Amino acid sequence: MKKLKLVIFLFVCLVVIVVVENQTKILHHLYNNILYDNQNHYLPCSKLPTEAFVNEVLSSHQDTVEAILEVNPGNVGIDIDTITCPGKADLIIWYASHQNRLAIQKIVTNNDFYGVPVSFQNR
Q: How far apart are CA 80 and CA 100, in angstroms?
A: 19
pTM, two decimals, is 0.81
Counted residue by residue, the chain has a size of 123
Which numeric CATH code is attached to 39-122? 3.30.460
pLDDT in tens, the chain (123 residues): 888 888 889 998 998 888 888 887 888 777 778 888 999 998 999 999 999 999 999 999 999 999 999 999 999 999 999 999 999 999 999 999 999 999 999 999 888 999 999 999 999
Average pLDDT of every residue of the chain: 92
